[in-house]
């Protein structure tokens, strides 16, 4: 069997790349980097005061990339870092950051929610379950 014989896998991989491209295009259209988009998005989803480590874990992104982008967003006045326990520093949105989140990030959440809400409850559960199952199997098999 050829590795390219599985049409479902080929389509799944293509769709995954296309979804990533859509978010990249959204970031570009908004005039921010992909990593800046992820950080601002995370501050909405995870909440004001999350840590860089929380973002890295939740979004499966490179630690150095997030660190560099946090520094840039801080320098631009969109976020600030405040001391927490130990060496941890939490990320907080500034008034300038809140404005960009309201204008650029909240609309994306609204679009995503409206799309998911077009799915039946059963479709939503199936999408989540099958994606989790694929990810779990992939992790198991590549770690062996």
List, for residues 101-135, the tens digit of each pLDDT value: 999 999 999 999 999 999 999 999 999 999 999 99
Q: 72: which residues sit within 8 A by CB, 6+ positions away? A: 33, 36
Report the pLDDT averaged over residues 89-95.
96
Sorted by where each begins, the domain ranges of the chain are: 7-143
7-143: CATH number: 1.10.10.10
Question: What's the pLDDT at 6?
Answer: 84
d(Cα 56, Cα 62) in Å, to the nearest integer?
6
Secondary structure of residue 91 in the 3-state scheme: strand
Q: At residue 1, does pLDDT exceed 80?
A: no
| pLDDT bucket at 141, cuts 50 / 70 / 90 | very high
d(Cα 30, Cα 105) in Å, to the nearest integer?
9
d(Cα 141, Cα 9) in Å, to the nearest integer?
16
d(Cα 126, Cα 136) in Å, to the nearest integer?
15
Question: What's the pLDDT at 104?
Answer: 92
Q: Model confidence over 40-91: pLDDT tens digits?
A: 999 999 999 999 999 999 999 999 999 999 999 999 999 999 988 777 789 9
Cross-strand partners of 90: 51, 82
d(Cα 102, Cα 82) in Å, to the nearest integer?
22
Enter the pTM of the model: 0.88
Beta strands in the chain (DSSP E): 79-83, 89-93
Q: CA geometry: angle at 67 spanning 45 and 92, to 5°?
A: 45
| pLDDT bucket at 4, cuts 50 / 70 / 90 | low
| pLDDT bucket at 3, cuts 50 / 70 / 90 | low
Cross-strand partners of 82: 90
Question: What's the pLDDT at 2?
Answer: 57
């Amino acid at each position: 069997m050829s590795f390219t014989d599985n049409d479902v896998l080929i389509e799944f991989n293509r769709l995954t790349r296309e979804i990533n491209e859509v978010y990249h295009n959204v970031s570009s259209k908004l005039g921010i980097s992909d990593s800046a988009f992820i950080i601002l998005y995370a501050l909405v989803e995870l909440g004001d005061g999350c840590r860089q480590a929380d973002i890295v874990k939740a979004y499966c992104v490179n630690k150095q990339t997030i660190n560099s982008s946090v520094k840039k967003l801080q320098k631009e006045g969109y976020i600030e870092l405040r001391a927490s326990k130990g060496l941890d520093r939490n990320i907080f949105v500034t008034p300038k950051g809140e404005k960009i989140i309201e204008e650029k990030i909240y609309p994306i959440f609204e679009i995503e929610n409206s799309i998911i809400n077009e799915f039946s409850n059963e479709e939503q559960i199936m999408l989540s379950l099958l994606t989790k199952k694929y990810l779990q199997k992939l992790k198991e098999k590549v770690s062996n």
